[in-house]
Amino acid sequence: MLLVFADDWGRHPSSCQHLVRQLLPRHRVLWVNTIGTRAPAFNLATLQRGWGKLRQWTSRRPAPALDGNPQVVSPLMWPWLRGRFDRWLNKQLLVRALEPLLAAANEPVQAITTIPIVADLIGALSVDRWLYYCVDDFSAWPGLDQATLGKLDCELLQKCDDVIAVSETLVQHAARHGRDAEMWSHGVDLACWQNPTTSQVSARLATLESPLYMFWGAVDRRMNVRWVQELGASLERGTILLAGPLEDPDPDLLRAPRVVHVPPIPFEQLPELGNLADVLIMPYADLPVTRAMQPLKLKEYLATGKPVVVSDLPAVRDWNDCLDVARSSQEFVDLVHFRARSGVPAEQIVARQRLQQEGWAAKAEKLERWLFRATAAPSETTLPAAERPESAWQPVSAGGV
């Protein structure tokens, strides 16, 4: 069985959800929706998130049976992790909720976590092996409880059995804590991005003035506001479209010239959204959190066949021959205008053929070999054919990194 601690299942298509989706036909999965990365505050975002969690906890729907895959559980949790009592209480709540489910599974358990809040569970749950899938520098992420998460991240690195990381910056972060981490890049579903379906997205955006300069994902303080402002000021016509959840962005970002924000688009409609773009942009600021991350949208952007202009960050450098990299605001503005006129050059089209080796299925097979290399072979832990679900993947909305 796989025990997974990550973002809420179906909330947005994270890398962990992409990987686990591929493993569902072969392995039982217990997916745990948790809280604790953001310190509660008296604001609308906290109230909305809290209300959603209360609905999860008080739902009268019965928990999925063990032959449902994944089995998604939302254990009751205390919304703080800063103090010793907070951590002790959450440990007790999670162990009480999860241990009976692990015992009922009656098979070896491999745990995967993308969040450091589970550091106190190692040794307290009946888990054979813990893998830390390190996807972000939570100690630098805007809006999170950075000090608490940084401390828990350090503890998790010391306690877990294995570490994989999505960027060289995070590999080096693990090394500073005495841990070897293997670098694993994200994948992409080429069939999804190269064959967009038709929905209501086009009709909803038909009133926006073209050309469209487009970004999708979480709209937050990782964005380089000055670059967006200068791009907007340079346009005689057109729209800078930001699609995704608003997570406390700089207010000046949404006031920039020609910027339009739309709420998150369902994941299955994002390829259609990308097909409407004239240029796809990724104007992240150079910050500790952006130097550590590997945006899922990078390979998704490339798979659309559209021009891509990004800021110079470590995560994009292996793909510099597939896109255009800006190192200043003026270069960013100039490249966006140039690509809007000229399109994708032939050499970038050829270079993007490397995406054929970046599918999520191949990434998941590698993860499967990693998880079970020191335990039972995958064939010994697979579900009987009659019990294998065709698909339990129901992505809800855009808004990942």
Residue 196: the pLDDT is 85
Are 176 and 150 within 8 A, CB to CB? no
Residue 86: the pLDDT is 93
Q: Indicate whether 82 pLDDT > 90.
A: no
pLDDT tens-digit series, residues 84-112:
999 999 999 999 999 999 999 999 999 99
Which pairs from 343-348 meet CB under 8 Å and 24+ separation? 343/307, 344/305, 344/306, 344/307, 347/321, 348/321, 348/322, 348/323
CATH topology of domain 190-353: Rossmann fold (3.40.50)
Give the contacts of 60 (CB within 8 A, at least 6 positions apart): none
pLDDT tens-digit series, residues 28-41:
999 999 875 665 55
Are 163 and 285 within 8 A, CB to CB? no
pLDDT tens-digit series, residues 286-314:
999 999 999 999 999 999 999 999 999 99
Residue 239: the pLDDT is 98
pLDDT tens-digit series, residues 131-189:
999 999 999 998 888 899 999 999 999 999 999 999 999 999 999 999 999 999 999 99
Residue 49: the pLDDT is 47
Q: How many CB atoms lie within 10 A of CB 181?
A: 21
Q: Indicate whether 384 pLDDT > 70.
A: no
Residue 41: the pLDDT is 53
The class level of CATH for 2-187+359-387 reads alpha beta
Q: Indicate whether 213 pLDDT > 70.
A: yes
Q: Indicate whether 381 pLDDT > 70.
A: no
Q: How far apart are the first and last CA of the chain?
A: 28
Distance from C-alpha of 228 to C-alpha of 224, rounded to nearest angstrom: 7
Give the contacts of 230 (CB within 8 A, at least 6 positions apart): 329, 330, 332, 333
Residue 155: the pLDDT is 97
Distance from C-alpha of 111 to C-alpha of 95, rounded to nearest angstrom: 14
Residue 197: the pLDDT is 80
Residue 59: the pLDDT is 58
Q: Indicate whether 352 pLDDT > 80.
A: yes
* pLDDT band of 391, cuts 50, 70, 90: very low
| Nearest alpha carbon to residue 381 among 125, 29, 111 | 29
Mean pLDDT, rounded, of the chain: 87
| Domain edges within the chain | 2-187+359-387, 190-353
Percentage above 70 pLDDT, the chain: 85
pTM attached to this predicted model:
0.85
Are 318 and 352 within 8 A, CB to CB? no
Residue 385: the pLDDT is 37
Of 3-12, 21-30, 151-160, 255-264, which range is least confident? 3-12
Residue 161, token pair as written in the block:
């059995």
